[in-house]
Structure 1
Amino acid sequence: MPPKIKTALFWIIAIFLVYAIVTSPDRAADLVKALWDLIVNAFSSFATFFRNLTE
């Protein structure tokens, strides 16, 4: 991907994120919390999988 397109996409996403946080901070916080929970659960599942492999 050309660097100018990467830069433009980065700024578009950054501006959208700022807009989303400013217009609806509660909903944005809920979304971040849901994403964080998804990541934590994924790592926990991997840990359980590898722990069960060693038993």
Structure 2
Amino acid sequence: MHPKVKAILIWALVIFAVYAIITSPDKAAGILEGIWDVIVGAFRSIGQFFNSLLD
């Protein structure tokens, strides 16, 4: 991907995120909380997998 196109897409994503947070902070917080729960759950699952390998 061309570097300028990539930069434009990143800026568009950042601007959209700021807009979403300003217009609906409760909804944005809920989305971030959901993403965080998925990440934490994935790390827990990976940890349980390696623990089961060691048992």
Distance 1:14 1:54 in 2: 43
Q: Which runs of 5+ in 2 are unaligned?
A: none
Q: Could you say which residue in structure 2 is the equivalent of 1:33?
A: 33
1:54 aligns with 2:54: yes
Q: Which runs of 5+ in 1 are unaligned?
A: none
RMSD over aligned Cα atoms? 0.4
Identity of aligned residues (%): 51
How far is 1:54 from its partner? 0.7
How far is 1:28 from its partner? 0.1
How far is 1:26 from its partner? 0.1
Regions of 4+ moved over 3 Å: none
Distance 1:35 1:27 in 2: 12
Q: How many residues align?
A: 55
How far is 1:11 from its partner? 0.6
